[in-house]
Structure 1
């Protein structure tokens, strides 16, 4: 496998590699009409790929006499920046990574929802996602509802290695694994696990000493790494043929499509806690209503639609990737094979061993360190 040049710019989000858009940020949707020019029969929806499936959108449009214009995003910070810069006035609903839905609150661009009004929805969720749910609250107000989730941990092909070997991230630094490690060049996703392995909680405010420890652990990682890649298909190919023993920085988002294709010997797990810190990371997507939508009742209806059990199954099972959903009621609608693909038998163990992903206070500095060490490793 050809090694990717280590001084190449990183891709800022995991979906970039699926869309082949690099770090463009977002793609404009044709026919997107500003709010002031729209009737109540038109909605503008900003979302990740998958949420725009015809089997999700078409029934809602038919049932609610509305046409939805889709604006696909390829990275959450870019989508949020667009909204915060004033485009919130042009949208009704947005589905993105949960930290950015939460940040719509302090940015004063969220239409807060009432827990009592959505009590029946929360009742259908797993207990872990029911109100009060801090990751989607701002000053006690609810900025959105969870829609999909998964975990970040080592991805392992058990035909070439054992899950037990990855009960920690130690193999990343073991000479026996030199040139057998693939690190995904996906912004903060590979940085966070390495910080946790070094005994540093990256979701807290960090001093210079802690940032230097992150620098050192990344330097050691790159020294033992065969490839740093942004292209998911390249990473998956190396994992399948044994060129890579693991993928670092992806987790279930990397695993699901391979397992869907029958490769059940490929799994994503979470290492055991180390230095008093959980070593996995729970990522989550959520959906929120943008402040002052054209038709609030239809915006709420779309939110309800997306978290309903039947639609949750559609959202979980997409062409590009398959992911868990917060709906407990949806679990009965999955086939046994789908449950196996999604590693449902392992999901709460992964949850219990993981930190919940949020926007890290020092993320800009950590990304800068990543780039510096990546360039120096070349």
Structure 2
């Protein structure tokens, strides 16, 4: 796991003033050392570590925040669950893993009443009691960024209507024109939904077999399985790929930020009674046993505040929606367009909310087996 640490605030030493008459007489001068900044340890995705976000918090709270960047949400959780939670105070990760801190017994629960003012600043869809982040009626964290997973399309080559379903993924006319993102479960879930299977419930053998068959068909039409987002984006821009599968808004925003408004991520229409999109979300929570629980609480408040939300939404690598309704008026019209804010609630209504699927290990194994067979 990649580690990075913010530069601590540099504070001048508090120099002693003129010595007292007694001190002067003896030639003694005093120097008062600066009080050490309170340390806080923060595990998070890239973007949350921006100096424009962390710096003001450090300054206001006389704190020094050490950052450990997450490169894999499941791996980050495994590190915490194995005892690493004792080494951190706050974590910002994908919401299913924040929720799982509850049953793992490693989170400090959030008092919804204490954070009532924060919830009031959110869109109604994210206000308490917010089920995706609850465990046994207690809150494991607060939502901080979100978006949706659906086909990412270059409308210079395809119409959005063409991608009102995932059918082109299996159309011979699109052979070698599909890019599947090698991002864990993200390309698997949409294919399961297209096959008429809800991947977020317990699956039987027949349903797992159906997922195997739909992935097999997908790989027959796929030109490339790509883990590097920049490579996938380049192929989408030049038409080598007609669509990216498994990325959605996270794969779209940087291109749209650069003025490519013909790149869009949409959610297909419901099929067989199942929504076809997936809402992903990141959340921020506190770890159990923090040495500085009040300061940890303040960092959570800071991260989800309207003042920070716009900065958190607009990063160099990717741009994402935030749950803060109070922040909406702070976005420029250009930023709103990049984030497809005019489409976000349609996407929400046509999507499932992402959570840890009971059979995810089985589905990941099937994905790898069918990929190997296709090669």
TM above 0.5, one fold?
yes
Pairing 1:48–2:48 present: no
How far does residue 197 in structure 1 lie from its aligned partner after superposition?
0.1
Q: For residue 276 of structure 1, what is the aligned residue in structure 2?
A: 273
Q: For residue 139 of structure 2, what is the aligned residue in structure 1?
A: 142
Pairing 1:291–2:288 present: yes
Q: For residue 306 of structure 1, what is the aligned residue in structure 2?
A: 303
Pairing 1:222–2:219 present: yes
| Aligned residue among 111, 120, 125 for 1:123 | 120
Written as runs of structure 1 = structure 2, the 5 A alignment for 1:158-237 is 158-237=155-234
Q: Deviations over 1:343-374 (max 9, x none)?
A: 00000000000000000111111011000100
When the two chains are superposed, the root-mean-square deviation of aligned CA atoms in Å is 1.2
Pairing 1:355–2:330 present: no
Q: Is the 8 A contact 2:232 2:244 kept in 1?
A: yes
Q: Is the 8 A contact 1:40 1:295 kept in 2?
A: no
| Aligned residue among 39, 55, 59 for 1:58 | 55
Q: Which runs of 5+ in 1 are unaligned?
A: 1-25, 33-38
Alignment coverage as a number of residue pairs: 347
Written as runs of structure 1 = structure 2, the 5 A alignment for 1:320-359 is 320-359=317-356
Q: Is the 8 A contact 1:146 1:326 kept in 2?
A: yes
Q: Is the 8 A contact 2:37 2:62 kept in 1?
A: no
Q: Is the 8 A contact 2:96 2:132 kept in 1?
A: yes
User: Structure 2: how far apart are the matches of 1:40 and 1:240?
Assistant: 47
SS of residue paired to 2:321: coil
Q: For residue 243 of structure 2, what is the aligned residue in structure 1?
A: 246
SS of residue paired to 1:156: strand
Q: Which runs of 5+ in 2 are unaligned?
A: 8-35
Q: For residue 19 of structure 1, what is the aligned residue in structure 2?
A: none
How far does residue 40 in structure 1 lie from its aligned partner after superposition?
7.5
Q: Is the 8 A contact 1:40 1:294 kept in 2?
A: no
Structure 1 segments of 4 or more deviating over 6 A? none
User: Structure 1: how far apart are the matches of 2:5 and 2:321?
Assistant: 30
How far does residue 179 in structure 1 lie from its aligned partner after superposition?
1.2
Q: Is the 8 A contact 1:46 1:94 kept in 2?
A: yes
User: Structure 1: how far apart are the matches of 2:116 and 2:306?
Assistant: 15
How far does residue 321 in structure 1 lie from its aligned partner after superposition?
0.3
